[in-house]
Chain A
Amino acid sequence: GQNIDQPTEMTATEGAIVQINCTYQTSGFNGLFWYQQHAGEAPTFLSYNVLDGLEEKGRFSSFLSRSKGYSYLLLKELQMKDSASYLCAVMDSNYQLIWGAGTKLIIKP
């Protein structure tokens, strides 16, 4: 079966760096997405990786290793507004998105 694994919850301190991991087993691979979702709100797109390596976008970076079925989202200079759930999703060989359950990130002052 297809599976996306990510930690359920993480806690970090304002101003620090946090890395949220995602491992996947899917039928084929056509890209990996990270979305941010604040409580009670819609998910919003953060990043897309289809090739191995690091994609940097401001304070957020996303890394992909296709051979390991692994990605991480790196958040630097954490701010209180970064408190949210972070959703990992993989597009399989049929171009269908398979979603992880999300990682709830709690930022403490």
Chain B
Amino acid sequence: DADVTQTPRNRITKTGKRIMLECSQTKGHDRMYWYRQDPGLGLQLIYYSFDVKDINKGEISDGYSVSRQAQAKFSLSLESAIPNQTALYFCATSDRGRDTGELFFGEGSRLTVL
């Protein structure tokens, strides 16, 4: 089983709908992240959390919200989806104790907003 699991893996929805993407991890890492990937662009950070009580906005947080329900769970919500939120979304984790800050990614959630 994957150490970082995202659900759903694929979702097609309509403009204005509320969508939640869920991420859970078994790596025991404190830090969790949500990224968005669009063709031709680098990964863009949406939100990140360094522990359960710590939530921080990334570079493109508008239109998104998150919830850190537990150390192992970090959910991303789109309150009212719009077509330009069509993208591949990745959850990632990192271990505070590692010097490199290496990220471990989930398998991705492909979201299409019609």
Contacts and interface: CB of A to CB of B under 8 A. Distances in A.
Interface of A: 4, 8, 31, 33, 35, 40-45, 48, 87, 89, 91, 95-102
Interface string B74-114: 00000000000000001000000000111111111000000
B41 A101 contact: yes
Contacts of A41: 107-108
Contacts of B106: 42
Contacts of A101: 40-42
Given A4-B42, A43-B90, A96-B45, 9 more contacts: A31-B101, A33-B100, A41-B108, A42-B108, A43-B43, A44-B105, A45-B102, A48-B100, A99-B42
A41 B107 CA distance: 6
A87 B103 CA distance: 13
B5 to A, nearest CB: 11
A31 B42 CA distance: 17
A33 B102 contact: yes
A91 B101 contact: yes
Contacts, number: 45
Interface residues of B, number: 16
Given A4-B42, A102-B42, A97 B100 contact: no
A48 B43 contact: no
Residue among B42, B103, B105, B106 having the largest count of chain A Cβ atoms under 10 Å: B42
Nearest to A30: B101
Contacts of A4: 42
A33 B105 CA distance: 14
Contacts of B102: 33, 45, 48
Given A42-B90, A48-B100, A97 B45 contact: yes
Closest 4 CB pairs of A and B: A99-B42, A42-B105, A48-B100, A99-B43
